[in-house]
Amino acid sequence: MSHQIKIDEKTGIAYITLVNGDLSATFLNFGARWHNFVTPDKDSNKENILLSLDTPESILADNAQFGALVGPVAGRIKNAEWNGITLEKNFHDEHHIHGGSQGWWCQFWDYEMISDTKVAFTLVDTASGFPGPITVVNTYELTTTAVVMTTKVTSESQTIVNPTNHVYFNLSGNAKRDITSHDLLVKSNGILETDSINLPTGKILTVDNTGYDFREPTSLADNLAKLTGGIDDAFILESSHPQICLTETKSGRKLNISSNREAAVIFSTTGFNDDFKVNGQSMHSEIGIAIETQELPDIVNHPKWGSIELNPGHTKVFKTVYEVE
């Protein structure tokens, strides 16, 4: 067990690397990001299984939240309004998304080493435009088999919180194969119906006989062939763990995800082509898959699904475990 901290002098980004057994993981103080996760394949070759931006400068310029802690509220809020408060309209000029342009994902956080295998990032958010101040402590712990992410949130004012980690996976190692080589299992019977700009309509759709049915391990290539726009949808999760399993036979890697969240937004990066570099190559369609545990998107406009309100003096604790085999 060990840790190492390297600081890029030009950008101020701190790279905090934890090592435990065969695993290592690097986290950043900018956006409390999970930057890489190095795990062995079936032949004991150690490779990164996340999509990682190549340079500190590209991380500062990133608007796709690679590995970032997104908040106070991940996803879209229709009409950018809650409880009479107008939030930043940064999505199609009238809606809100991902905590806005000053959200948690693009702020510098304080950090503290709890142990060689555990780091805590702390942010007091007064910049996002959400009522607060909101204090969030996001802890990453590296065990010999998993990264354990725990997010604790308090606020001085009544507010709303629904954070997620916007991490992108590719189990082939250093993204040398696309996610079409992967199989996916998601313990979910239903997804949210969305409109043309991906705002929830309020309806829940069954996954039966659709490309969204991953209740048994299913080839991503097969299901993506049925979905012309790929996957960018909220799956309602069952409570039995693990709720999500991603596997890649060629590498022999398997990722199990367990969480106390009610949903996961899964994004197949279909159509996501850009000229910035991840893992030494240009960002391109289906190079990775984002698996974002959270409460249901736009829940403030659909109270039948629950509540993400946080009252003063109360603490919300969110936990997701990413275990590799």
Q: Is the pTM of this model over 0.95?
A: yes
242 prior amide bond cis, ω within 30: yes
- Please give the single-letter amino acid code of residue 172: S
Tell me the percentage of the chain whose pLDDT exceeds 90: 100
155 with 124: CB under 8 angstroms?
no
How many domains are there within the chain?
Answer: 1
244 with 186: CB under 8 angstroms?
yes
Q: Whole-angstrom Cα distance, residue 208 to residue 218?
A: 14
Residue pLDDT, tens place only, 106-136: 999 999 999 999 999 999 999 999 999 999 9
Question: What pLDDT does 180 receive?
Answer: 98
Residue 36: other Cβ atoms inside 10 A: 22
CATH label of the domain that carries residue 187: 2.70.98.10
271 with 285: CB under 8 angstroms?
yes
- 177 — pLDDT class (breaks 50, 70, 90): very high
CA atoms within 13 A of residue 61's CA, in its CB half-sphere: 9
Residue pLDDT, tens place only, 204-220: 999 999 999 999 999 99
Distances (CA, A) of 108 to 17, 122, 124, 127: 17, 9, 10, 12
Residue 42: other Cβ atoms inside 10 A: 10
Which residue bears the tokens 């295998």? Answer: 117
- Helix residue ranges per DSSP H, 25-172: 56-60
Structure tokens at 310: 């946080």
Query: What number is the average pLDDT over the span 258-274?
Result: 98
Question: What pLDDT does 238 receive?
Answer: 97
- 76 — pLDDT class (breaks 50, 70, 90): very high
Q: Which domain holds residue 275?
A: 2-324
